[in-house]
Structure formats: structure tokens, C-alpha cells
Structure 1
Amino acid sequence: MTRVLFVDDDIELLDIAKLLLQQSDLDIEVIVATSVKEALERLEKEQFDIVIADYLMPDASGIDLLEAIRSSDDAIGFIMWTGHSREEVAIKALNLGADYYILKGANYRDQFNTIRDVMKKIISKKNTNSKTIQNIISQKKASEFIHRLSHDITGIIHNIIGYATLIEEEQDMSYIQGISRLVTKLSDRMKSAVETVDTGVLTL
């Protein structure tokens, strides 16, 4: 479930927002806050995926909220939804890391359809980023596993070569037994590696 924090000092608008957003086909939970202070308190205690905020509020601005969020978290989606159409505000919001800047209009239903579409884009982007991170982690695990395996096998092979050199030089049968032990060790190490992958101990 996607958790959304909607921040606006207009209580009636928050009621409408909660109703219309939760009527969508998105699996979301909408939590409301009537001030930047309340929003920051909630963000400190709870996890949210998206924040939707007005620009002008009594205690602080939506820009202040965005700056506070981005100072510690780049992953939360942020939508600035405001009646203020000043270009410099929009530019500053986007430069600070807002995902979208939407102007308020008279038709709330159309506005919330737009907000839902934007939220879908943010959710899709977050899911894509999450898969990318997981792929990177999987590749790192595979690389580390191969490195360890290569190190072990290289060490055993070097020892086998050493025994072979001694046999050639001294013709001592005890060295043949050493080679046999190392070949067995090498075989066991390869079987262990295969089992690690097959049983899912190494999750790629």
C-alpha cells in the first residue's frame, strides 16, 4: 500500500482530497496534516511514499517542507499543489526535488484525476528504482561469490602445480598422494559451489 501525506491548511479541501483520492484504483492510504509543523512531526514518526503539499500555509511554506524532506530523504515523492502561479516558485520547487508542480483549479474532480495520474507515475518510478537497486545488489552478491570461488580454486591449483613440480624433480610418491588430496578438495569445493546456487543459499 502506498502511503500519502496530504498537507494543506484548508480542512474542507483535505476532506475532499481524502475522499476523492481513496476512490481511485490506486492502493493508497491518505493521511492529512493542516500545517508544515504537523507534517514534519508525522514524517518523523511514520513512513510515507508521497507528500502532496500546498505552497502557502500559516506556519511555513510548501517549499520549507520540501527542503526539510530533501535534507534527509530523496526517495519520497513530492507534489506541490498550489493556487500560486508564480514561475519562480515552480522553478524553485522543481530545483529542490519536487516531482511535479500542479496549479489548483476550480474543478476539483479534474484536479484530483491529474494528481492520481501523477501519483501513478511516481509509484511506477519508485518501483523501477527499487528493481534497479535489487539488480545491483544481486550482481554484487554474484561477483563476491565468484571472487571467493576463484580465489579458492586458484589456491588449490597452485598447490597441485607445486606437487607436480616436486614429483618431477624428486620422484617422491608421497607428492602424488598430496595431489590426490588436492584434487578431491577441488572437486568438493566445486560441488559446494553448485549446491550453494541450486539450494538458493546464494540468492541472485
Structure 2
Amino acid sequence: MIRILYVDDELPILDTTRRILEKSGSFSVTCASSGKEALEQIRATPFDIVVADFLMEDITGIDLLRIIRTGNDEIPFIIFTGKGREEIVIEAYENGVDFYVQKGGDARSQYAELAHKIEQAVESRKIRKRLARSEEKFSKFLQDFDGIAFQINPSGRFILLEGTVEETTGYPREEFLSGYISLERIIHPDEKHRFLNDMQRLATRPGFRVDSVFRIIRKDGHIRWLHGMLHTICSASQEIVYIQGTLYDITYLKSAQDELARTEEKWRAIITRAPVIISVLDRNGSFLFINKTHPPKKPADLIGTCAGAYLAPDQEDQLANALHRVFSCGETMRFESAVPHGESVTEWLAHQISPVTWNGSHEAALVVSTVITERKWLEQNLRDSEEQYRAIVVASGDGIIIIDPSGKVTFGSPKVYDIFALPCEQPLAGITLLDFIDPSYRPVAVSRMKAVLEGDLDAEPFEYLLTRHTGERFLGELVTTPLRDSSGAISSLLILIRDISKRKSPLPAA
């Protein structure tokens, strides 16, 4: 759950925003009605993000951000305000705000955007922390990166440069690393002033970020559009060590936008080349448009036919129910389905269905379908191998337990019963890990579990004084490893338990 500090001197808005955000179950919101109260809350309580109004009686949101940043606190910060003047927005981003969300308009869209930006800002901070600890792995990954990834020092000299450098710029990678060619040199003249301003800020402002689209001139004279995302990497003392960023060649996207604006014919050509299946259905579920099909059928063969007829028989109702929600409520629906192609071949697709609105009513449904056959195959293989892994756990010489974030045991191997002399009939589920740890060691155990859950501590052995069911105390070694769900969030902890009393000095008498 994301811990939010929300600061606003308008109490009705303060309470309304808290209730709406907490309703999703993903956020815990603490409110402050002034800058002074907000700073006291930050000193007393750890938060994942700060959301603040711009104009308050005792402080502005930007001044509050400056105070927090002065204390070397890189907590994500969002300005949520009805003040939308351009100079305020510019000042906010210059001072390192993560996002600027405008109040007003449709309330549902407004709070949906705020919730999305909160999740995005918090996740971005977690990613930055992980990147700082994994620079070597990151460098290896960059070798096959589909784009350009780089690091430059504050003076503009390349330290690291990987990816599609020559394909994008026309210049060999070595000419950039040697200093013979600089990034500034290939920037289009019309973009150079803005680019130099951004680089100056990056070189002098810790925490500054740039997300920009600009043009370059290749060695052969052709112009390419690039999407650049750059940010500073700082030392513990907040000195800028280097500027890190990625560049993506989006020339084809810019061309596509121009073509889409001119003719529907070119729009259809681009959609046909998309890596996903895009279709449009009417209220009855019949195809109005589809960009690609499985051979030997052609897109034209499907127009006017019912989409449900191409799904597995037991999944037609899923499509019908999804279309009913899309047309009646305007919701975006998602589901997965199997599409048979003959007797032995089945393709799995993940569908996202959204309403297409004309003249204020939902007249069609846009369906974006992604092939997930390989993922389904992998999932089946994982299920098939579950028994093999279970056999390995049972045969392990170490005790193995899994605990949830509260410390309660959700799984324990048979060896755990041997180590702690537990009766066979006693269930492990519901017992806390601390029940096995001597009281004198429990504070450090709690602290280390918290650090692992927050991603701040890697798996490493640690010795504890443990207690058997009989009351006997003994020295044990615990190795705690985080387990992550499909989204990458830590959902539980796996703990290896080893009795090391035989290779350690005897314990003093209790």
C-alpha cells in the first residue's frame, strides 16, 4: 500500500481527496492542512510520496518542495492544484516536481489521473534505487538495448554509450566515446538552444529530469526524431556524478502522425503493420474492421461475421459480457481467450476492449488483442514442474518457510518440524516467525525483515538465537530472500533455516 501525505488548506477538498484515493484500497492517505503540519508529519512518519496544493495560506507547494529537497529527501512530489498558469508549471518542474496534476473538470478523470501519477512516481523512485544498486547488470543489459543508452559526465563527455548508435546517428559509437563527435554537434539548429538549456540544468541541479522530443541531423544529412529521457545520478552527498539517459528513434511515429492526419488510407496501412491485432466491433459483436488475421483467412473475410464464433465455445459468453459492459457503462474490459486454428493448433490472445464514442454515445468497441501463446505455454510448464520443486523442498537439509509481510508462516517444509522439535500434528500456518526466535533477538529480526520487504537488504546469512518447542535454545542461521509477484512487488519472504549449534561454541547457561 502506498503511503501518501496530502497537503491542502481547503479542508473539504482535503477530506474528499483522501476518501476517493483510499477507496481503491491501494493508498493510505495522511492529511495536513498547512506547510508546517506537513513538515512535522514528514519528520515523524515515513511516506512514499507527497501530494500538495500550490497556493496555501502559509506556504506554496513549490516552497514546500524546496524545503524537503534541502533536507536531501528525494521523496516523489506531485503538485495537485487548480492553478494552471504556464509559469507555475515551468517553475514546478524546474524545482524537481515529479508531476503537475490540474484540478477541475471531470472529477472521475481528475482523480484517476492523480492516482495513476502517484503510482507512476512511486514506482519510478523504486526503479531508480534498484538501478543504483545494479549498475553492472544494467550495463550488460544495454548491449542488446533497442535504442541508445548513455552516461555522460557534467561537462558533456560520454562515459558509457550502448545500443543502436550508428544505426540512429550514422556515426560510429567510438567517435562519440573519443570526444570527436558530441551530442550537441548533431542536434538540429532549431532545437539546439532548448537542448543546451536542458543540459545546463542537468549538469547543475541534482534530481533534475528531462523528457523531451527533438531532432538530430545524421551523418548522411537525414533528419531523425528522437525521444530522450535524461536524469542525474548523484552521490550520497548529492554531487552530480553523471547524467544518464536513453534515446529512442521515433521518426517513424512522427511520420505516422503526419500520415494519419492527412488520409485514412495511410492510417489503415500503419494499423495493418501493427504488432498487435486491432479490430472494431459493433453492438452485436460483428467485425467492422480488423487489421490482420491468421492465414489463410484475410481481414476482408471477417467483416460482418461474429467475433465470438472464432473463440473457443466456452469463451463466447466472456466476449458477450465484456461488450455489454463496454456499451452500457463505457468501461474498458480485459480478458483472455483461446482461438482454435484447426484441430491441433490453438492461439491464446489477451484482449482489451474500449468504447468508441461518436456524438456522445458508444457506437463501437475497439479491441486490441496481443498474442500470449508463449506465456500460456510457460505457465503450463511451471504448473507441470511444481511437483518437482516440491520434492526438492521436502528433501532439503535446511528448513524452509515462507512468511507473509506480517511475519505469519504460510508454508513450512518437513525439516522445520525436525529443527524446532515440533509435534507432527501442530500446523505451521498462522505461527509467526518470531515465535521461533529468542526474545533478545526479535528486534533485530523485525528490523531485517522490514529492510528486505522494502528492497533495502539483499539475502545474506544472519545468526540468531532460536528456541525449540521443548524450550531448548540453540544457534541458528537464517537467510531471508524476497519473493515477488508478477508485477515485481515483494509479496512474501522465503527463509532458509539451518541449525549451526554443532559448529558453534556451546551457549552459556540461561
TM-score bracket for this pair, using the shorter chain length = 0.5 to 0.7
Is 1:90 matched up with 2:89? yes
Q: Which runs of 4+ in 1 moved over 3 A?
A: 136-139
**Which secondary structure state, in structure 2, belongs to the residue aligned with residue 57 of structure 1?**
coil
Q: Aligned partners of 1:137, 1:52: CA distance in 2, in Å?
A: 34
Q: Aligned partners of 1:77, 1:137: CA distance in 2, in Å?
A: 26
Question: What amino acid is the match of 2:112?
Answer: N
TM-score (norm 2): 0.26
Q: Which residue of 2 aligns with 1:147?
A: none
Matches within 5 A, 1:1-204: 1-24=1-24, 26=26, 28-136=27-135
Check whether the contact 1:36–1:59 (CA below 8 A) recurs between aligned residues. Answer: yes
Higher relative contact order (CA closer than 8 Å, sequence separation 6+): 1
Q: Aligned partners of 1:81, 1:99: CA distance in 2, in Å?
A: 11
Shift of residue 74, structure 1, vs aligned partner: 4.2
RMSD of equivalent CA atoms: 2.6
**Which secondary structure state, in structure 2, belongs to the residue aligned with residue 18 of structure 1?**
helix
**Which secondary structure state, in structure 2, belongs to the residue aligned with residue 5 of structure 1?**
strand
**Which secondary structure state, in structure 1, belongs to the residue aligned with residue 30 of structure 2?**
strand
Q: Aligned partners of 1:70, 1:108: CA distance in 2, in Å?
A: 31
Structure with greater proportional helix content: 1
Check whether the contact 1:20–1:109 (CA below 8 A) recurs between aligned residues. Answer: no
Q: Aligned partners of 1:136, 1:85: CA distance in 2, in Å?
A: 38
Deviations 1:39-66 (A, max 9, x none): 0111111111111100110111111101
Q: Name the stretch that deviates more: 113-122 or 126-135.
A: 126-135
Question: What amino acid is the match of 1:31?
Answer: T
Q: Can you give the 5+ residue segments of structure 1 that lack an aligned partner in the other structure?
A: 140-199
Q: Which residue of 1 aligns with 2:341?
A: none
Q: Aligned partners of 1:45, 1:25: CA distance in 2, in Å?
A: 24
Q: Aligned partners of 1:13, 1:92: CA distance in 2, in Å?
A: 24
Deviations 1:145-179 (A, max 9, x none): xxxxxxxxxxxxxxxxxxxxxxxxxxxxxxxxxxx
Check whether the contact 1:24–1:116 (CA below 8 A) recurs between aligned residues. Answer: no
Deviations 1:4-61 (A, max 9, x none): 00000111111111111112252x2100000111101111111111111001101111
**Which secondary structure state, in structure 2, belongs to the residue aligned with residue 73 of structure 1?**
coil
Q: Aligned partners of 2:131, 2:123: CA distance in 1, in Å?
A: 12
**Which secondary structure state, in structure 2, belongs to the residue aligned with residue 47 of structure 1?**
coil
Shift of residue 88, structure 1, vs aligned partner: 1.1
TM-score (norm 1): 0.63
Q: Aligned partners of 1:109, 1:19: CA distance in 2, in Å?
A: 13
Identity %: 37
**Which secondary structure state, in structure 1, belongs to the residue aligned with residue 134 of structure 2?**
helix
Question: What amino acid is the match of 2:81?
Answer: T
Aligned residues: 143
Shift of residue 133, structure 1, vs aligned partner: 3.1
**Which secondary structure state, in structure 1, belongs to the residue aligned with residue 111 of structure 2?**
helix
**Which secondary structure state, in structure 2, belongs to the residue aligned with residue 56 of structure 1?**
coil
Shift of residue 131, structure 1, vs aligned partner: 2.0
Rg (Cα) greater in structure: 1
Q: Aligned partners of 1:45, 1:136: CA distance in 2, in Å?
A: 33
Q: Aligned partners of 2:83, 2:90: CA distance in 1, in Å?
A: 12
**Which secondary structure state, in structure 1, belongs to the residue aligned with residue 77 of structure 2?**
strand
